[in-house]
Structure 1
């Protein structure tokens, strides 16, 4: 059973794919992807080492801290124990980590410059370490840390069990303007939260955000009693199964909150992957009509015994005692203004962000599901633009730079795009969802090797080897002096 990750859908892939034909196509495509390994990986050194059993099965994967040491030039990680500790702390974003790194290099003449270079090297190692062995993600995560903590805001249970903040429940005046439904869409790990922070600084949302309802299934999942209990039990290899176990209950809760907020005419910000087109299309249709009548949750995605698929995510409330209220509703309520903000990024960047988030918070998804969410959203985005009043598309491929606006649409106009940057959307739309590493993600020529790509310009930077040499010499002296203490 696979679930979309947006809201209200539970789908069996066997009813969507024509397995025989599609399977052959997928096999051929995967074979083609794998032919390009040498173009993406210039040196095998950059791939994390894997121990294999006599039968050929994958065993232990090289620890991240040992990987960092090897990239800098120390084949034996025991030579640099302090460096390994710092690498681990940096990955986990431990409190005081930056200060510890600075103190580690404080006795060097050019300590400030070395600090910047070592932090950059840590970032490059994160980008390359998690760019491989995606089918072993649960094991990689469990190797990195034994303790997961989920930091979430507390919800207040009010209004018959609907989860939201008291501040959100203050009624708004809907007579002066149309309420706004803002979709924040994009694959898992695309960077929607980063973009949303900027959106909320815009003049409209500065005034409206305090009373807006934010709908996000992940937030409900994090408050699920079962999820918290299982996720804190120490069985970290089961983290993916734990998240999937509570997925339906969290999406149902989010669906309930959404339809309640729309029925009340509230401003709504809905955060999700929006990778399942029927759900998005039906939600937009409901929002277009909800000023005329009330809605409730439908049965969702159902497969009949004969294999017939029925999708009905929302239903009108047509009871006799609602008719008079609906008539008054149409006279007093204004229709929703629907906006879409899409966020895309290179598939491998999303995977790396997802793995690192899992390490720090315990929120994990399967890599192939994550890649599918990106691919489906990228293919559906142009269609969604035709259904909404306003649309914007942001790209979050940069490292340490703000999201870039690469497409926009206002009113009845067509989607306007930056002809160079829109390639980011096209690349995501054609990625290989079954990839096991960055090498298999795209067909030749791989866009990750193009100028401007983080992988090409940052990870494979020609200057990296000379910087590593400088770091190696300073770290060797530092570790030697620490041992003498």
Structure 2
């Protein structure tokens, strides 16, 4: 009899809560050894759910231990080299894949084993980070702590306890320096100051637009959707191939990473990674907005990379771009709440009307294009967590889910306001993004009927979900054919691959003892 996945997940969650309560009250019995934590339909002989291990859910079965359990090892001491390979792979440390290949170098089918182990590591990551999203920061910190300071628990406690005072002190000391460095970054981006030849930049001196309208390209999609991957392909197109170096690329994250306060706090370790990003979020957003309005006033080609999740901001920005050839603009007051609770949103305001000089060529209006990127939000969460581990740049999962939901809901509205729109799907784990929707001028949006359902699916996700099983209402697409969870994590062939890997790993581990 096949067990209902949602009922089983509810029972697992309940048992986890009961185990934690018992652990906190008695401090004796370790409920994590209970087999009921481990099983999932379709993969009954391997751990798929990461096990809760200590009180308050702040520690988990390590991701590298999880990989060992997936292949049937009950104790990491049976496969220390495998655990190290898994640990290095999840961090994408230099030479990690070369080390995996060297591990099997003495085996006759080393090439095949290498490919199978890398694919199994990917499956382990996809399953390990599919749960406990409310505690994602703890899972990320667990990996980073193991990398740098495995035994300095007291330091982590002190850093957490003194966070507010440290943030306040650093912000106060660097307040003036931040103003000047942010202004300098804006001037560099717009091309008003020279750049060091030794530094690489996305923005250079502008070119005159003689025979065409300037272009404003919106790159939109939830956090972790894969916008950067799609943008690389867009910049190879004829329009951008010759001008991409002269386009102003506007991305709030770029200002965040150059913020002196962000740098100062990040240099002290990963302990406050999430809080540091949130501390400088507003200032980096303001800097990006300032650069945007300056670039439009100067009639530069502009690429605006963001989630486009807040409809009023995007609509007002499009309105500004439609009129900026007649009037100049500046930043408005933004989002304001009056004492009586009235909300006012004014992101841009007109300065004056442009005066055309006698004999001057009439200024062309902006051509506005939209490139949207959509993917299963589950994959985006995994990408976000992995990026946090590799790049030390994290966001809260619920904020990430909201950005996906809001963009999916708003995409059709945006299509009516722009001159050209395209929608890409990045659901494929390997291979290029897939074009699933396009619109030219006043025509209706043409879609791939087999793929556009992804946009509708993301639009109805649960942005408070704590796991893949809470992400969508029934029927959950995670259990349908074609999904990553169904076809890759719960693949019937996976068990045989794990057995083959375990046999070969045991041989190599014995030789290395």
Provide the TM-score with structure 2 as the length reference: 0.81
Determine the structure 2 residue equivalent to 1:58.
57
Q: How far apart are 1:175 and its partner, in Å?
A: 2.7
Determine the structure 1 residue equivalent to 2:260.
225
CA displacement 1:182-207 (0-9 Å, x = unmatched): 00000000000000011111111101
Aligned pair count reads: 438
Task: Check whether the contact 1:174–1:334 (CA below 8 A) recurs between aligned residues.
Answer: no
Q: Report whether the alignment pairs 1:385 with 2:415.
A: yes
CA distance in 2, matches of 1:311, 1:139: 36
- Match of 2:326, SS state, is coil
Q: How far apart are 1:418 and its partner, in Å?
A: 0.9
Q: How far apart are 1:240 and its partner, in Å?
A: 1.3
Match of 1:162 among 184, 187, 190: 187
- Match of 2:303, SS state, is strand
- Match of 1:302, SS state, is strand
- Match of 1:452, SS state, is coil
CA distance in 2, matches of 1:284, 1:398: 31
Determine the structure 2 residue equivalent to 1:37.
9
CA displacement 1:149-180 (0-9 Å, x = unmatched): xxxxxxx9877953426573423212310011
Task: Check whether the contact 2:53–2:59 (CA below 8 A) recurs between aligned residues.
Answer: yes
Match of 1:283 among 294, 317, 333: 317
Structure 1 unpaired stretches of 5+: 1-31, 149-155
Task: Check whether the contact 1:162–1:253 (CA below 8 A) recurs between aligned residues.
Answer: no
Determine the structure 1 residue equivalent to 2:397.
367
Decide whether aligned partners of structure 1 residues 262 and 60 sit closer, same or farther in structure 2, where only a CA change above 3 A counts: same
CA distance in 2, matches of 1:90, 1:329: 64
CA displacement 1:31-89 (0-9 Å, x = unmatched): x9965738994257200011243xxx324111111000000110101111111111111
- Match of 2:475, SS state, is coil
Which structure 2 residues correspond to residues 273-422 of structure 1 after superposition, within 5 A? 273-318=307-352, 323=353, 325=355, 332-422=362-452
Task: Check whether the contact 1:295–1:316 (CA below 8 A) recurs between aligned residues.
Answer: yes
Which structure 2 residues correspond to residues 222-261 of structure 1 after superposition, within 5 A? 222-236=257-271, 238-261=272-295
Task: Check whether the contact 2:182–2:287 (CA below 8 A) recurs between aligned residues.
Answer: no
Q: How far apart are 1:330 and its partner, in Å?
A: 9.3
- Match of 1:46, SS state, is coil
Q: Report whether the alignment pairs 1:466 with 2:500.
A: no
Q: How far apart are 1:226 and its partner, in Å?
A: 1.1
Decide whether aligned partners of structure 1 residues 292 and 113 sit closer, same or farther in structure 2, where only a CA change above 3 A counts: same
Decide whether aligned partners of structure 1 residues 324 and 399 sit closer, same or farther in structure 2, where only a CA change above 3 A counts: closer
Task: Check whether the contact 2:328–2:354 (CA below 8 A) recurs between aligned residues.
Answer: no
Decide whether aligned partners of structure 1 residues 207 and 71 sit closer, same or farther in structure 2, where only a CA change above 3 A counts: same
Determine the structure 1 residue equivalent to 2:84.
85
Decide whether aligned partners of structure 1 residues 79 and 324 sit closer, same or farther in structure 2, where only a CA change above 3 A counts: closer
C-alpha root-mean-square deviation of aligned residues, in Å? Answer: 2.4
Q: Report whether the alignment pairs 1:49 with 2:51.
A: yes
CA distance in 1, matches of 2:237, 2:359: 30
- Match of 1:335, SS state, is coil
CA distance in 1, matches of 2:257, 2:60: 29
Structure 2 unpaired stretches of 5+: 12-38, 149-180, 196-200
Determine the structure 2 residue equivalent to 1:26.
none
Decide whether aligned partners of structure 1 residues 159 and 82 sit closer, same or farther in structure 2, where only a CA change above 3 A counts: closer
Determine the structure 2 residue equivalent to 1:448.
478
CA distance in 1, matches of 2:429, 2:458: 18
CA distance in 2, matches of 1:330, 1:468: 72
Decide whether aligned partners of structure 1 residues 160 and 125 sit closer, same or farther in structure 2, where only a CA change above 3 A counts: closer
Task: Check whether the contact 2:293–2:329 (CA below 8 A) recurs between aligned residues.
Answer: yes
Determine the structure 2 residue equivalent to 1:105.
104
CA distance in 1, matches of 2:188, 2:405: 31
Decide whether aligned partners of structure 1 residues 41 and 294 sit closer, same or farther in structure 2, where only a CA change above 3 A counts: farther
- Match of 1:445, SS state, is coil
Q: How far apart are 1:332 and its partner, in Å?
A: 3.0
Which of structures 1 and 2 has the larger relative contact order (alpha carbons within 8 angstroms, sep 6+)? 1
CA distance in 1, matches of 2:319, 2:6: 42
CA distance in 2, matches of 1:463, 1:420: 26
Determine the structure 2 residue equivalent to 1:429.
459
Task: Check whether the contact 1:291–1:329 (CA below 8 A) recurs between aligned residues.
Answer: no
Determine the structure 2 residue equivalent to 1:70.
69
Determine the structure 1 residue equivalent to 2:141.
142
CA distance in 2, matches of 1:161, 1:139: 35
